[in-house]
Structure 1
Amino acid sequence: MKRYDIAIIGGGLVGASLALALQAEAKARGWSVLMVEPFAPGDSYQPSYDARSSALAHGTRLIYERLGVWGAISQHSAPIERIHVSDRGRFGATRLSASEEGVPALGYVVENAWLGQCLWRALDREVVTWRCPAQVEGLTAVPGGYQLRLDDDSVAQCGLAVLADGGRSNLREQLGVAVNHRAYDQTALIANVSFSDGHGGQAFERFTQEGPLALLPLPEQRCALVWTRKPADASRLLALPDRDFMAHLQAAFGYRLGALRQVGSRSAYPLALVAATEQVRPHLVVLGNAAHSLHPVAGQGFNLSLRDVQALAQALCTSPAAPGEFSTLQAYQSSQQRDQWLTVGFSDQLTRLFGGAGQWLAAGRGLGLVALDLLPAARHAFARQAMGLGSRPGLSLP
């Protein structure tokens, strides 16, 4: 039976980022690292109009620069130079700009397929052993670590098991890791769209009585749409012909980018705040969406997970103990507690503030947006949080 120092269960964006963050130290200290992923990444990047994407905050760029992969990632990214935040039918609005914050861009939007290719290509196969396509079907605590049972009935052991297998982690449930679940009674409609005038590097967060609507710039002048609606309304919109769907979207967003010209395939998923009650045990870490899944309104979920990755890698690489030592994992969790608390709270409060339709709440939103627009210090603090810098003093501006 093969034994590894670290087993990363899930080789998606979070798991692959952790493998990359660990591989230099693993090579220096002779650690063996296993990464198990059920979906093969493929040998080449195939651009698609309908490709799903992620919004990467400026702080995330700084992390990937340190890992040596930002140059590759940026080849197929769209910078967010300005963000326009408004409340439809109300007087309040605010604008954030990269030039005001002194950064090249407030964030970047990258197709997940390209980001994955950049991460996988940077992994050293002599340090990180891949099992792909493969899936861990069972995880059992044993003295000094965990035993993994894979779907081909092979078995391996590890000193540290990292669960990075997504928000619907079966292994998390197998291990009895409870989660706090708060449903928002909202569904996110996801699609890529194109407007006649192009996006010009702008992102929009528009709050309506039916729910928030976000448009993020993508390469080739496409926009990534995240439109939050009540579940029944989302189902109705999902079933509409393209022409009718675009008419509803145009009415909700307006003509700031001109007329809608194209909409790609649409998908929908229910929204909830999900947080694991335990993120570390002896020889175990729960990471990524398996640890916390946030509302997409503020675009904070993946960026928080990547900061978790950085903090975990730093804790493991600076500890003299072998991976899996409980005190090391507790130190990691302690170092990230404030960041997680502030980021989850920021996302949840935005959702509650801008998801309600009451008259007084709407008036408060308008006043808040006006205050942000008129008070540079408040706008700067809001921008830093959005850029993934507000709760991490170690991630500073260049």
Structure 2
Amino acid sequence: MTDTRTDTDLIIAGGGLAGATLALALARVVPELRVTVVETFPLSPDALPEDYQPSYDARSTALAWGSRLIFENLGLWQVLAEHATPIHHIHVSDRGRFGATRLHAQDHGQAALGYVADNRWMGLSLMRALLDTPVSWQAPAEVTGMTPMPGGVCVQIRKGDDQYSLTGQCLVVADGGRSGLREQLGFVTRTEDYGQNALIANVSTSDAHGFTAFERFTEAGPMALLPHGSPVTAENQSALVWTLTDSALEQVLALSDDQRCQALQERFGWRLGRFTRIGECHHYPLKLTTVDEAVRPGVALVGNAAHALHPVAGQGFNLALRGLMTLVEQFRRAVDEGTPLGDLSILGEYQRLHRQDWQQTVQFSDSLIRVFGQSLPPLAAARDAGLVGLDLVPGAKRWFARKAMGTGGRKPIVSRADCSKEPARNDQ
């Protein structure tokens, strides 16, 4: 039963990929809830284009196979797949050394190991789907504070020059890794600076990618090239994640595009032929950020507001998505039992169930950085032996594949209705 004494049942601070996905999942799984999303950017049905034209410089996200299954159950995958490039193969190697391992989707009976989708396309797809739901939007607006009250929370909102309050049973903070609201509410974060930066850009190569994702570890840091572009034709465009120290980043940013391609060629090698183009470059410092306690009565942190990972393993959004579904599952339970959404028995169970997943994922991503960041000969030799071992030992390779595909953790129930149906397929 929802609480009619409040303005709404659930308030989501942030309407990005995490917040919008949570809102859509709630509309599908717990449709009786009144959900309000507060987003800083203006949102309007008129702003949604009829036809999506991918940009060469579009930022993208790696979606694991497990994330595809979640979006299928939410009824969104068929749309997302229109511009999602499948990953059929993953090639992991150590620059200048013999160690390498390869994963192939067909070996695991899957259509793909994962996908690469433009962030803007994902956002537009979510917005279009949400237009057909009763989810309420306050945009452009910003949550500026929150105070507890009996049975829920009172959230302060600023919209232009106006300030007002909105009451609800629970507040979900989904405004990203630079969440000012998280700090304002007193959540304590632990941050470990890797002393590196991620440079993000799209690149073109003389050879087609063959739907292969490359993870390349070098003495200067890891880099990844993910297939990008057409979902059905292996083209020559890839999404680059290039890890650089502060000084190396300054040097690369000072180069011309041709010089950047040459520097990239020296780091990555010739597995995709010659680098012919590099698009607009974005960069950000790499930090491991976690929150010891991501919930308190009436409040829950999700997505990057709760944990931000190194992008080397491409697990950040996939981990967040699994956490969102776990939270939705607990909200479904709360409604069934007549318990307030913000009750600590509900939010605490969400944290308990999700904690093991994020601890294992953080450990997996962090260990890759530490193991492959060592250049001492004995450690490098052991690392190469480990990569070769993954190729030779089926059990070890299956474990690594499950991590890469995001299928090794707990699988929350996404929807009573949708999970009972055969999900629509749109395999590439």
Q: Please indicate, yes or no, whether the TM-score normalized by the shorter chain is above 0.5.
A: yes
State the match for 1:370 in structure 2. 388
Determine the structure 2 residue equivalent to 1:218.
228
Partner residue, 2:271: 256
Amino acid at match of 1:43: L
Aligned partners of 1:59 and 1:18: how far apart in 2?
16
SS in 2 for 1:251: helix
CA drift at 1:356: 2.2
Question: Aligned to 1:85, what secondary structure does the other structure show?
Answer: strand
The residue type paired with residue 251 of structure 1 is E
* Alignment partner, residue 426 of structure 2: none
- For structure 2, the 5+ residue unaligned runs are 414-418, 424-428
SS in 2 for 1:244: helix
Q: Greater shift after overlay, 32-41 or 243-252?
A: 32-41
The answer for the alignment partner of 1:133 in structure 2 is: 140
Q: Secondary structure at the match of 1:302?
A: helix
Q: Which residue of 2 aligns with 1:284?
A: 299
- Counterpart of 2:196, as a letter, is Q
Partner of 1:268: 283
Task: Find runs of 4+ consecutive structure 1 residues off by over 3 angstroms.
Answer: 393-396
Which residue is 2:311 aligned to? 296
Q: Say which is worse superposed, 302-311 or 350-359, in terms of deviation.
A: 350-359
Return closer, same or farther for 1:394/1:143 CA change in 2, 3 Å cut-off. closer
Check whether the contact 2:193–2:286 (CA below 8 A) recurs between aligned residues. yes
User: Normalized against structure 2, the TM-score is what?
Assistant: 0.89
**Which letter does structure 2 place at the counterpart of 1:113?**
R
Instruction: Establish whether residue 34 from structure 1 lines up as the match of residue 36 from structure 2.
Output: yes
Structure 1 stretch displaced more, 312-321 or 98-107: 312-321
Q: In structure 2, what is the Cα distance between the partners aligned to 1:311 and 1:281?
A: 16
CA contact (8 A) 2:325 2:412 kept: no
> Is the aligned partner of 1:11 residue 2:21?
no
The aligned residue for residue 227 of structure 1 is 242
> In the alignment, which of 334, 354, 362 is matched to residue 344 of structure 1?
362
Tell me the C-alpha RMSD between the 2 structures. Answer: 1.7
Determine if the alignment matches structure 1 residue 23 to structure 2 residue 41. no
Distance 2:147 2:175 in 1: 16
Q: Does 1:308 align with 2:323?
A: yes
User: What is the aligned length?
Assistant: 395
Farther off after superposition, 314-323 or 338-347: 314-323
Q: C-alpha separation between the residues in 2 aligned to 1:136 and 1:199?
A: 43
Extract unaligned runs of 5+ from structure 1.
none
Aligned to 1:67: 74
Q: How far is the alpha carbon of 1:126 from its aligned partner? A: 5.1
Provide, for residues 66-122 of structure 1, a one-character-per-residue CA deviation record: whole Å limited to 9, x for no partner: 000000000001000000000011011000000011110000000000011111111
Distance across 1 between alignment mates of 2:212 and 2:40:
36
Contact 1:139 1:171 in 2 (8 A): no
**2:416 alignment counterpart:** none
- Find the aligned partners of 1:62 and 1:245 in 2 and give their Cα distance: 37
1:138, distance to aligned residue in structure 2 (A): 2.1
Three-state SS of the structure 2 residue aligned to 1:8 is strand
3-state SS of paired residue (2:7): strand
Normalising by the residue count of structure 1, what TM-score does the alignment of the two structures yield? Answer: 0.96
